[in-house]
Every structure is written in C-alpha cells, then in structure tokens.
A and B are shown apart, each in its own frame.
Chain A
Amino acid sequence: MIPVCRLADLPRGEAYRLETDPPVAVFHTDDGEVLAIDDTCTHQDASLADGWVEGCEVECPLHASKFNLRTGAVDAPPARLPVRTHQVVLEDGVIYLLLSDAPPNLPPCAVARAGGGFA
C-alpha cells in the first residue's frame, strides 16, 4: 500500500496527484468519497487531477471527455478508452493506494515519454 496523504489534507472537491509512474490522481468528491484513477487522460497528455469534478465524474481539463471515477469508463469523445482505476484504503485518517496491476491506457505521447523515447 502506498500512503498518499492525510484525509484532512485533501478537502472535498480537490484532487491530489501522486507522482508514481504513471502518475495517479486521487479525488475527494463533494459527496465525501475518495477515489483514485490514473492521472493521465487516455486521449492526450493532460492531468486529470487538474480537471473539473462533478458528482463522481471528472471532466478532462483539455477536451472535456468525462471519466467515471468509480469505474474509469469514459462517456464521450475525444477520449475513447477508459482510464484505469485504483483501490483506495482509508486507515487512521490516512489515504492509502493499492495500485492496479492491469495495463494502463496511456495516450501515445505519454507512452513515448514513459519509454524514454521522444516521438
């Protein structure tokens, strides 16, 4: 389990970007849920932690595709692939992450970067 931050340090409506590889975004929704997904949009290189959260959906800050924070499903173009979700554990007021071992759906540009190449 990876410790993220104290729950008290992540106000409702805010997101925290964890600099793992690839990075993970942890959201505290307005309804008080804490949910985690891959931070990089599946369309292009945008950080979903910078996005617009409404209910349990985040709208990509660039081209407005919306991802469900619970399932990772994408509702509309331009993104066409779901984003990977991660399990969140709350213990003694601290947020922990259990990283998914499913393959991520990274956009072409981010894949090139992670691989050390420069497309």
Chain B
Amino acid sequence: MKAVAVVGASLAGLSAARSLRQLGYDGRLLIIGAEPHRPYDRPPLSKEFLAGDIDEAALTLEADGEDLGAEWLLGTAAVGLDRRERTIRLGDGRTVRTDGVVLATGAGARTLPECESLAGVHVLRTLEDARALREDLARGGRLVVIGGGFIGAEVAATAHGLGLEVTVVEAAPTPLAGPLGQTMGQVVCELHADHGVRLLCGVGVQGISGGRRVDEVLLADGRRLPADTVVVGVGARPCVEWLAGSGVALRDGVECDAYGATSVPGVVAVGDCAAWYDPTAGCHRRVEHWTGARERPAVAVTTLLHGGAAAPQLPKPPYFWSDQYGLRIQFAGHAAGAESVTVEEGAVADRSFLAVYRRAGRPVAVLALNQTRLFTRWRRRLATALPAACSS
C-alpha cells in the first residue's frame, strides 16, 4: 500500500493516522477534513469550553511537536469515492488517488427546519457552533433547549451555571431512556429539577417563532415558551451522503464487520460514521462515543494493512461519560435488553451511586454518578461478562 487517505480530520481520523504510523505504515498519508481546523476535542464544547473555563488552544488533540508525516487537506470535503479508479473527489475540484481509505467523517447535528433562518437558534457540533452559542449565552436571559439527550442536558447545566433561566423540552416521556433505560433515565433527568432547571417531557415542539431573532418556542400542546436563545439538541446523523452510489454499503452509517472492514476492499470506517457489527449482540450498531472513536481505529487500521488478520480481541464494552451540574456520570455496556437494574453502592437520593444492569442474572451494563473508582472496577468486570441483546 503506497497511499492511504483518511477522510475526516477529527478524533477517529487522527487516531487512525496515528495507528497507521504505529503499525509501521510509511507510505503517503493524506488527511482530508471538511473543517478548516486541525483535530480538536468535541466533549468540552458543551462543558468547560462553553462555560468559558478553557480556551480553544486547550481543545487541540495533537501532542506538542507531533508529526505524523501527513499531508493535511483541510477546509475541503470529500464529495465522491470511485472504487474502481481508487480516487476521492474533493469539493474544491481536486482528485486524490489512494490505495487505502479510512472513512472517519463522523456525524452532523440534526436540525429543525426553522434553525437556519432565525438568529439565536443553535445546534452544537463544531467549534464554530460552540463559539456562536457561547456568545449568545453571554447575553443571559432565557434559554430553551430542545431535546433532553446528553448534549442538551450538558448545555442546560452549563447555561444554568452561567446564570441563565433554562427550560429543557423533551418529546419522549423520559429523556435518556434509550441509552440508560427508563428507570435510570428518570433518575438522571431529575438532576435538572435538583438545580431549578425546568424539564418538560412528552411534548413535541411545533415551531420556533420570531422576527429576525427567535422570541418563542411553540409546543405541540399549545404552550409558548419565551426564549432569548434556543439550542436544538435532537441527535446526530452520520455524514455518509457523499458515499451514495460508491458501492460502500450504508445503513445507519457505514456498514462494517467486527473489525471495521466495509463492503469495499481497501476501505475501512471508524468513529461516529461507522456501524460496526457487534458479535456479542449479533447486530450492527453505530456507537457515538469518544472512546470508541479513539480505540477502534487501531483495529480498523490493522484490518486495512493486513486484511482480515486482525487479532480477534474482544472489544471493551462501549464507555461514555457526561458531566452535568458538577456531577460525573459514567456508563459502560448496553442498557437495551437488560431485565433489571439495581443500585449496588451509594444511594440515588445522594446523587452518588453505582447501578448494575443485568440480563439473565449477568451484568450487561453499569452506570455511576460520582463513583469513579467503583465504576472502573465494574467496567473491567463487564469486559469479561456476557453479551447484551440488540434493541433495534
């Protein structure tokens, strides 16, 4: 292999580039990124960066003086992949030839139709999004967050800390029921009430109104919520449109086997854009977590360089964290398919506890609030436990 192109210059792309060099690949390495920036860290965008506690320099993902010997083509998106010619077409008209491809294009924020036209309405995915939102939050006033998922909840907590009056609107009866299950989703969303942040559940958003700038969010039940700023946090969709017709099989994201291989030889996919086959669950899933985007590229790159010869290592259970209202939330495993969840340490009322999800008596997931030490032990135990079923 003489040339490898990594498409997407964020965590998964950078991790893939690093793994390529670590595994001894010394050929041409191209890193193509739609954003003009070198790789930066997204989790702080809803937390420390949004709060103004850290600056942009602290977001960089490259080590000081790190040199991967790569050609960075930034500020231009890949718009087409030709598997026969082995070329990638870029938005600026250029075409690059490559022997191997790592797809790492991540995900983009879902929006509502009103988002584009009204000032004061935000999504949060990129550095530019975060800068703009930070500026608007500095105006103070009333913030309405549409969507009670992790990013919405973190924005609500951060804005509350900045002194804004915050309301969260969630269409589902319980926020976070997907990732955490009904019982624990309920527990975690009570954190809003603990801090005087209003949470409205089971009601959809009809529209957002205003002149040039937003002034109200209209709910499906007729209520109107006055708003100075609105954040739409309704999930993300994989950035894979550009691959349509390329022969790379797509489902919710790029369809991959358990080692990152796609339907096209010489093309692997990693991070938020990829739906890897999970052998323990018997289905494909897209895992939108930081640690997955950081750890799986090593496997995918082995696949790319050595065909299917990757070590059949059991992947660690997916792990993610969230910081809200100064509390540390950690979760590992799969809640879907669990039959029970029990608090094994601490107490829910104290907002310091560890809960274990079980299926057929075996642990399949673990959730911790401010229980870091114990969580690490359970995460390790889970790595040797039984598979969880797939919900979708």
Q: Is A94 an interface residue (CB 8 A)?
A: no
- Of the listed residues A47, A49, A64, the one surrounded by the most CB atoms of chain B closer than 10 A to its CB is A64
- Kindly state the separation between the CA atoms of A46 and B330 in the bound complex, as whole angstroms: 13
Q: Is A78 an interface residue (CB 8 A)?
A: yes
B381 vs chain A, min Cβ distance (A): 11
Known contacts A76-B15, A76-B18, A119-B53: A61-B375 contact under CB 8 Å? yes
**Residues of chain A in range 71-119 having any CB-CB distance to chain B below 8 Å:** 76-78, 80, 108-109, 119
Provide the main secondary structure of the chain B interface: helix
Contact count band on B: 20 to 34
Residues of B within 8 A of A109 (CB): 53
Residue in A49, A63, A80 whose CB lies within 8 Å of B63: A80
**Residues of chain B in range 355-389 having any CB-CB distance to chain A below 8 Å:** 372-373, 375-376, 379-380
A43 vs chain B, min Cβ distance (A): 10
- Tell me whether A63 and B376 are in contact (CB under 8 A): no
Q: Is B321 an interface residue (CB 8 A)?
A: yes
- Tell me whether A64 and B41 are in contact (CB under 8 A): no
- Kindly state the separation between the CA atoms of A59 and B308 in the bound complex, as whole angstroms: 28
B166 vs chain A, min Cβ distance (A): 23
- Tell me whether B376 and A77 are in contact (CB under 8 A): no
- Tell me whether B328 and A62 are in contact (CB under 8 A): yes
- Of the listed residues A51, A62, A77, A80, the one surrounded by the most CB atoms of chain B closer than 10 A to its CB is A77
Size of A's binding interface in residues, CB under 8 A: 17
Residues of B within 8 A of A108 (CB): 53-54, 58
- Tell me whether B373 and A47 are in contact (CB under 8 A): yes
- Tell me whether B64 and A50 are in contact (CB under 8 A): no
Residues of A within 8 A of B290 (CB): 63
Residue in B41, B53, B54, B321 whose CB lies within 8 Å of A77: B41
Residues of A within 8 A of B15 (CB): 76
B378 vs chain A, min Cβ distance (A): 11
A65 vs chain B, min Cβ distance (A): 9
Residues of A within 8 A of B43 (CB): 63
A61-B375, A64-B295 given; name 13 further pairs at CB < 8 Å. Answer: A47-B372, A50-B372, A52-B376, A62-B321, A62-B330, A62-B372, A63-B43, A63-B321, A76-B15, A76-B18, A76-B294, A80-B60, A108-B53
Q: Which positions in A face B, CB cutoff 8 Å?
A: 46-47, 49-52, 61-64, 76-78, 80, 108-109, 119
